[in-house]
Structure 1
Amino acid sequence: MVQAVENWCWLTGQVQGCRELAQYLELEMRVDASMAVEGYPDLLEQYLGQTVRIRIAGAAAPGTGQQVRLRARLAGPGVIWGDADTLALEPGRRSAR
């Protein structure tokens, strides 16, 4: 049996799309930066420059192209959960499309 490692980091990136599902929002985001939360390992640094799907319960959907920042964790192989209370738009950093 594999032991789960408690992990948290701050992710910053550009929203590529969103899907509102029954119990959570699935945010598709290009990861531009990852920084460990003090006291926890950063298991999401490996996704820098890649587009990932982040599950967030109870969050409003940001617009495509917006820069966002949130606290997130790797919950299992390929499963990333974000903290809705920390989801924030990065001011003045909307991408031109």
Structure 2
Amino acid sequence: MTGSSGAQSTLLERSRTTQGYPEARVIVLNDDVNTFQHVVDCLCKIIPGMGTERAWDLAHQVDGQGSAEVWCGPLEQAELYHQQLTGEGLTMAPIERC
């Protein structure tokens, strides 16, 4: 005769939660120092894929509204672009997480 002890094994499953890589916004602020042309040149030089027309639109937004989000994406890249734009003399808002 075969018997069972009545004990059951319990299988615990791990709860998988995936967190996306943190993203952040790069925001240029209006100032009385930088010219439109300088802002456009910096954006085209530093922000990947930035075209002249888009850069001019953003420069006008900075002037008219006081600020413009010029890039949003992975935090590390945002920090790099923020640092580079600051190094070019643009007035920058603190990096904001998306």
The normalised TM-score by structure 2 is 0.28
The higher radius of gyration belongs to: 2
TM-score under structure 1 length normalisation = 0.28
The structure with higher relative contact order (CA 8 Å, sep 6+) is 2
Larger fraction in helix: 2
